[in-house]
Amino acid sequence: MINLSVNINKIATLRNARGGNNPNLIKMAEDIQSYGAQGITVHPRPDERHIKYDDVRNLKSVVKKEFNIEGNPTPKFLKLVKEVRPDQVTLVPDGPESITSNSGWDTKSNLEYLTKIIKQLDDIGVRTSIFVDPDTEMVKYASETGCKRIELYTEPYAMNFSNGNKSIEQYVKCSNLANKLEMGINAGHDLNLNNIEYFASKMPYLDEVSIGHALICESLYLGIQNVVNIYIDKLNR
């Protein structure tokens, strides 16, 4: 079973565009879980342009499945994580000016830094995942930090797929290596209904995907309950 964690950042973006509380982020998180999604992902950024820090606190009591918080481990971010204590924290190296995540960690040059962060999260019982490019060297050094999982950055796959190139060999190599090194494998970024089934069918040991922007856009056409279940079906054919 490959789990689907729904990133609800774009729901918060829509709410923030008008002020007030419509759509209701907390109710949407509850509903998405009831439709079958196995987790909820949020990525609070320093400027709180979509998910606000108080959203993360409020979500803690309603996310009954896996709660995954993504972000750059700044002191403010780590303080929030230690307060909320989600099931999983995905460490992402995006700067405050980034519109969205656009690369994985250089786990070799950041080995000492990441190891210290992961030790802090291990001490409070939070599973860690490191966002990495599909590069076996980065996977190898990720394992040396003590993290429990990696999340493979899938924008290169998605871009090639849309251009007719279904090359996935490097992702398979990374997944096989991560499994050998006793890490779980997550994936995310630009996965959508067009490319998810092929990816899931070819990827060994895939535990979880995190999807937000595409899923919310597709839901405008198809309805969010339908979209959540279509993803689950395609992931597990």
Distance CA 210, CA 42 (A): 10
Return the DSSP state at 119: H
Q: Are 210 and 186 in contact (CB under 8 A)?
A: yes
Query: Which residues are known catalytic residues?
Result: 43, 70, 189
Q: How far is CA 87 from CA 62, 65, 68, 76, 166, in A?
A: 13, 9, 6, 19, 33
For residue 217, how many other CB atoms are within 10 A of its CB? Answer: 14
Distance CA 179, CA 19 (A): 44
Distance CA 83, CA 57 (A): 8
Q: Tokens 């439709």 — which residue? A: 35
Q: Is the dihedral of CA 187, 189, 191, 192 positive or negative?
A: positive
Assigned token pair, 55:
């959203």
Distance CA 77, CA 86 (A): 12
HSE-up of residue 127 (Cα within 13 Å, Cβ side): 14
Name the nearest CA neighbour of 43 among 147, 151, 134: 151
